[in-house]
Amino acid sequence: MMDGVQINSEATQSDKSENASSDIDDALRKEAKRAPDAVHTGKVTKETQIIAIYGKGGIGKSFTLANLSYNLARQGKKVLLIGCDPKSDTTSLLFGGRSCPTIIETSSIKKAAGEDVTIGDVCFKRDGVFAMELGGPEVGRGCGGRGIIHGFELLEKLGFHDWDFDYVLLDFLGDVVCGGFGLPIARDMCQKVIVVASNDLQSLYVANNVCSAVEYFRNLGGNVGVAGMLVNKDDGTGEAKAFAEAVNIPVLSAIPQHEDIRRKSAKYEIVGDPEGDWGELFSELADNMMSAPPRQPKPLTQDELLELFSSDETGADYLLDPATPEDMCDPAILEKKSLEVVYDNV
C-alpha cells in the first residue's frame, strides 16, 4: 500500500510539473502575441526641444552627444541626455567610463522587490547635464525595440512630460529597421532628427534609411523632420557633404578625424567644454542644432547612393550577370527524358 501511495505521489508531482511547464509556455506565447502598449505623447509643460540623434552603430553618436550636452550645459542650458541604445554606452563618457544603472534593469530589480522606481535610481548628473540610459534586454532574450518602448512607458510614469528642460537629446541606434527605434519619428515624440555619419558608404546608408523613415511618416501626417547632419571623423573626402546636399539637408558641423580627439575620448575626457581646444567646434554644433528647422528630406535610391562614391570603392559599375539553371545543377540532372506523349499529326 505504501508503495502504491509513493507511486501515486510521484505521478502527481510529475503532472504538476508538466502543468506548470504548460502554463509557462502559454504565458510566453501570449506575451509574444501582445502588441506594444501605446506610448503617451501629451504636451510638455515647457517649450522643450526634444531632438533624436540617429546613426550607424560605432559612428560616434555617444561621443558627440556627451560633448554636445556638456557644451550646452556650460552655456547655461538645462539638458537631459537619454541613451536609447541597448549597448547603454551613451552616458559613459560623461561619467568617466562608468556605466549607470539602466531604467529597464532597475525596473526589473525594483519590481521583484515590490518597490517603485524613483528618479534618483535612474537619473544622474554632472556639471549641469542630467543623464540616463533606457537599456535593453539581455542578449538573445528579447527585442531591443520593445525594450525602448517599455523604457518610455516607465519615463512617462516618472513624469517625463512635466520635466523642466531646455533640451532633451535622445541617442538612437539607426541601423536597425525596427518600430521601437523609430518611435520618436512615428509618434511625433521629438520635433526634429539629426543624423550622424562619416564619409563611408555604410554610415550614409543608415542616414538614408533614417531620411526614408522621416519621409514615410511625414506623408502619413507626421511632423518630425531632419534638422541636418553631423559629419564625424571627417577626413575631407566629401561624400557625406555630397549626400547631405543630395537629400536636401544642411551639414550642421564636421568633427575632424584628429588624433587629439581620438586620444582624449579614449580616456573618457570631455572635449566639448566651450573653453577647451575643441569647444568652439561643439559650440557651433550646438548653435546650429538649436536654430536649424526640421526639413523633409529626399532620400536616395541605392544606385544614387552608390554614385556618391568612386566605382573603385563600391563596384557601382559592375553589371549583374544572371544565373541559369545550368549554373545551379549538374548537367546530368537537367538532361531528363520527357514523359510527355507526342502524337503525330494525321
Which sequence spans correspond to the domains of the chain? Answer: 49-306
Q: Which of 3, 23, 26, 56 is catalytic?
A: 56
Indicate which residue of 175, 192, 233, 234 is catalytic.
Answer: 175
Of 51, 67, 52, the closest CA to residue 232 belongs to 67
Name the 3-class secondary structure at 76: coil
Percent of the chain residues topping a pLDDT of 90? 46
57-67 pLDDT, tens digit each: 889 899 999 99
The residues with which 55 forms a beta bridge, in sequence order, are 173, 196
Query: What is the separation of C-alpha 214 from the centre of its chain, rounded to a whole number of angstroms?
Result: 14
Closest residue by Cα to residue 74 from 227, 288, 228, 270: 270
List beta partners, residue 251.
Answer: 229
Question: Is 70 exceeded by the pLDDT of residue 49?
Answer: yes
Kindly indicate the confidence band of residue 27, based on its pLDDT and cuts at 50, 70 and 90: low
pLDDT over 80 (residue 276):
yes
Residue 151: predicted pLDDT? 82
Q: Which of 66, 71, 72, 77 is nearest to 100 (CA)?
A: 66
Q: What is the pLDDT of residue 135?
A: 81
- Identify which of 100, 89, 151, 157 has the alpha carbon closest to the alpha carbon of residue 125: 100
Q: Is residue 87 flagged as an active site residue?
A: yes
The pLDDT value recorded for residue 44 is 40
Predicted confidence (pLDDT) at residue 13 exceeds the cutoff of 70: no
DSSP state of 161: G
Q: Can you tell me the distance from the alpha carbon of 283 to that of 90, in angstroms, rounded to the nearest whole number?
A: 20
Topology (CATH level 3) of domain 49-306? Rossmann fold (3.40.50)
Confirm if 116 and 109 have CB atoms less than 8 A apart.
no
Catalytic residue among 26, 33, 77, 87: 87
Please, which residues bridge with residue 124 across strands? 131
pLDDT at 237: 93
Is the pTM higher than 0.85? The answer reads no
Euclidean distance between CA atoms 105 and 167, whole angstroms:
25
**Cα three-residue angle 109-111-113, rounded to 5 degrees:** 75
Residue 57: is it exposed, middle or buried by C-beta count within 10 angstroms (0-12/13-18/19+)? middle
CA dihedral 172, 227, 290, 60 (to 10 degrees): 40
> Which residue of the set 16, 26, 33, 61 is catalytic?
61
Q: So what's the pLDDT on residue 7?
A: 45
79-83, 137-141, 237-241, 298-302: which has the minimum mean pLDDT?
A: 137-141
Q: What type of residue sits at position 308?
A: L
pLDDT digits (tens, 9 = 90+) for 113-122: 999 999 999 9
Contact call for residues 255 and 281 (beta carbons, < 8 A) = yes
Taking 70 as the threshold, does the pLDDT of residue 25 lie above it?
no
pLDDT score for 309: 86
Q: Band of the pLDDT at 39, cuts 50, 70, 90?
A: very low
Is the confidence at residue 107, as pLDDT, over 80? yes
**Catalytic (active site) residue 61:** yes
Distances (CA, A) of 102 to 66, 151, 166, 313: 17, 9, 23, 40
**pLDDT at 142 (0 to 100):** 64
The DSSP annotation for 195-219 comes to: EEE-SSHHHHHHHHHHHHHHHHHHH
Q: What is the mean pLDDT of residues 149-156?
A: 84
Helices 279-291 and 61-74, axial angle in degrees (round to 10): 90
